[in-house]
Chain A
Amino acid sequence: MSKIKLFLLAVTSASIFLASLFFGQNTINPFTLQGAEKEILLSIRLPRVLVAFLMGSALGVSGAVLQGMLRNPLADPYILGISSGAALAAAFGLLTGSYVLGKFTIPLAAFFGASVVSILVGAFGWKKGRLLPERLLLAGVGLSFLFYALLMLLISVSSYEGIRRAVLWTFGDLSIADWSLIPYGLVFILSGIYISISRSKALNALMLGDDLAHSLGFSAHRERLLFFVSVALMTSASVSLGGTIGFIGLLVPHIVRFVIGADNSSVIPVSAVSGGAFLCGADLIGRSIAPPMEIPSGIITAVIGSPYFLYLLRKKDVLGS
């Protein structure tokens, strides 16, 4: 990866991060901070921007890892059914209005739902002592349908206000961001990113096929299990922080590969930074367009990202002729 691209990435990401900190419904001048403005910045803006960055990083890295370890360009963190389990559990909390654990209720419910589905998908994808890529994908798709059906059932019997909140949540609801949640998300997401970066050679080898990975000195099934666990933890942590946000996990890794190539030792860190910056920017746009109304980030990411992705798809010949 060239130094110019690295420099551009760093400058762009830092600018987006700072912009989403200081702009929005109220513009904050960092040089004349005082009273209420300082309060808004520290207790509302900063946690929200950090959560957006963490979620975007987790989703970008998860997508890059899954596409590699399953050797499937259509894989994304939600194809394993993780989002459907999280959505069902979170919606249950939102629709029944039960807040037994206070502000932790919805995040914990989402994390619980995501983890349960991850374990189920892993169990169905397991055969002969290893995780098989095709089985994992099909188990994920199958379980997704089941859990989305249950979600629809839940929504169809619920009251109006609950439905609105639940639907917003499934497109990403960063307004629930809060300092108290960040440390938990940080632990899971940073360890997932660390594992993915430190095993990036193994991921490259897995992309050549299990037999070649073996020949190059990697145990394909052990590496795949490790990647699966770290993706499950990153994605579960991400949905519990701010709901399900599409597009980033699927398309950010592809855009990164279009621009810098497919070597995972670059793709994973760059997906982390650009996924994070991208979600920060999308959130900034979503809360700036028509305040005080907020447009869910999941809508913004798709509306901005998809045309750019399609443009790259036409322009580059990476996928062969």
Chain B
Amino acid sequence: MSSDHSQPILELGGVDFRYFRTEPLIRDMTFSVENGEFIGLLGANGSGKSTILKLASGILKPSVGHIKLWGKELAFYGNRDRAKLLCYLPQLLDINVPFKVRELAGMGLYPYDIPPEISVDEALDLVGLLDKSESYLANLSGGERRRAFIAMTLLQGAGLLLLDEPLANLDIKYQLEIHRLLKELKDTKNISVIMALHDVNIALQFKKVILIKDGRVLGIGRPENVLNRDLMKEAFDVSIEIRKQNGGGTYLNYGDNP
């Protein structure tokens, strides 16, 4: 269809969310994800990052407003149809899951009757766990376990990944590798990603960030525009600023240093 070029993959319009008879956790949330976009969702603890991802994945239903996936109301999708288009990885992964790495990764194929082109071995190779494919998850380190879940996500083959703090508790090496891996997938398979973050340094590597506070959008756009002194002060209650180095790189300046 020719309209695909202009159509956003995911669209949130005026979304409010509240649990029964409580204050809203998300207010008037409006943004969209274009094909192939990489979006960092940044905000302080409790600002609503996880709630937004759960809404976007259909786990929670908006109290007000609409969420559309490929132009169709998200709630109207069947479970399996949605699972082929959209995949969600929570922040906390149960460490007592009794499966082997290979078994877990293979579950990514559950939505399919005919498996997609990528094999379990390939997915495990991509996350560097091929030699541990017969290990039990309980015997892996935290970072390895997270990579096993990412292998499952890769096998699920959805075009939109909603990842809640996927880089938390990872060594810097794997933070970089997973980040590189996702970028590679973006280039080769044209996937789109929304990633909740609390590390401003990582947010700087994104082309687009959404900064939120108390369930509201403070700013959307390029990090150097959005993560300015005023908005960062409002979002995180600290004085923090992005500075350009002479060489062209960026760095963070903490406190009130000139």
Known pairs A217-B82, A319-B138 / 16 extra A-B pairs, C-beta < 8 Å: A71-B96, A201-B110, A204-B99, A205-B107, A208-B94, A211-B88, A212-B88, A214-B57, A216-B110, A217-B79, A217-B83, A317-B139, A318-B136, A320-B95, A320-B96, A321-B138
Stretch of A51-59, A185-193, A256-264, A296-304 at the chain-chain interface: A256-264
For B97, the chain A residues whose CB sits under 8 A away are 207-208
Q: In the complex the two chains form, is B98's CB within 8 Å of A217's CB? A: no
Chain B residues contacting A208 (CB-CB under 8 Å) are 94, 97, 104, 107
A83 nearest CB across to chain B (Å): 26
- Give A68's nearest chain B residue, CB to CB: B98
In the complex, the answer to whether B103 meets A212 with C-beta atoms within 8 Å is: no
- Candidates B90, B111, B136; contact of A216 at CB < 8 Å: B111
Binary flags per residue of A195-217, CB closer than 8 Å to B gives 1, else 0: 00000010011011111101111
CB pair A262–B103 under 8 Å, yes or no, is yes
Chain B 128-147 interface mask (CB, 8 Å, partner A; 1/0): 00000000101100000000
Complex partner residue of A217 from B20, B54, B80, CB under 8 angstroms: B80
- Interface presence of A25 (CB below 8 A): no
User: Do residues A219 and B79 form an inter-chain contact, with CB atoms below 8 A?
Assistant: yes
C-alpha spacing A215/B107, complex, angstroms: 11
B182 at interface by CB-CB < 8 Å = no
- In the bound complex, do residue B98 and residue A262 qualify as a contact, i.e. CB atoms below 8 Å apart? yes
Q: State the A residues within 8 Å of B (CB).
A: 71, 128, 201, 204-205, 207-212, 214-219, 257, 261-263, 317-321
Complex: how many Å from CA A128 to CA B60?
Answer: 13
Cβ-closest 9 pairs across A and B: A217-B83, A320-B138, A262-B98, A217-B80, A217-B111, A215-B88, A217-B79, A211-B90, A216-B110
Give the chain A neighbours of B88 by CB distance below 8 A: 211-212, 214-215
* Beta-carbon contacts under 8 Å, B49-66 to A: 54, 57-59
Expressed in whole angstroms, the Cα–Cα distance for A71 and B90 within the complex equals: 17
Contacts of B90 in A (CB 8 A): 209, 211-212
User: Which residues of the partner chain A approach B84 to less than 8 Å between Cβ atoms?
Assistant: 217
Are B99 and A215 interface neighbours, CB within 8 A? no
For A254, the closest partner residue in chain B by CB is: B98
Specify the chain B residue showing the minimal Cβ separation from A220.
Answer: B59
- By a CB distance below 8 angstroms, the chain B residues around A128 are 20
A-B contacts, 15 of them at CB < 8 A, read A210-B59, A211-B54, A211-B90, A212-B90, A215-B83, A216-B108, A216-B111, A217-B79, A262-B98, A263-B99, A317-B139, A319-B98, A320-B138, A321-B138, A321-B139
Judged by a CB distance under 8 angstroms, whether B12 is at the interface is no
Interface contact B83-A216, CB-CB below 8 Å: yes
Interface secondary structure of A, over-half rule: loop
B100 at the interface (CB under 8 A from A): yes
Q: What is the distance, in angstroms, from B176's C-beta to the closest C-beta of chain A?
A: 25
Q: Say yes or no: A318 contacts B98, CB within 8 Å.
A: yes
Contact flag A218-B103 (CB < 8 Å), given A201-B110, A207-B98, A209-B94: no
A235 smallest CB distance to B (angstroms): 23
Most buried by B among A205, A262, A317, A318: A262
Is B156 an interface residue, CB under 8 A from the partner? Answer: yes
Residue of A nearest to B106 (CB): A263
Q: How far is the CA of A321 from the CA of B138 in the complex (A)?
A: 8
Chain B, range 75-93, C-beta contacts under 8 Å to A: 79-80, 82-84, 86-90, 93
Nearest B residue to A261, CB-CB? B100
Candidates A205, A207, A320; contact of B110 at CB < 8 Å? A205
- Closest residue of chain B to A263 (Cβ to Cβ) is B103
Q: Are A211 and B59 in contact (CB under 8 A)?
A: yes
Query: Can you name the residue of chain B whose Cβ is closest to the Cβ of A265?
Result: B103
CA distance A257 to B82 in the complex (A): 32
How many angstroms between the C-alpha atoms of A2 and B198 in the bound complex?
Answer: 45
Give the chain A neighbours of B104 by CB distance below 8 A.
208
Nearest residue (CB) in A for B94 is A209
B104 → chain A closest CB, angstroms: 8
Distance to closest chain B CB from A138 (angstroms): 20
Q: Which residue of B lies closest to A207 (CB)?
A: B97
Q: Nearest Cβ in chain A — how far from B182, in angstroms? A: 17
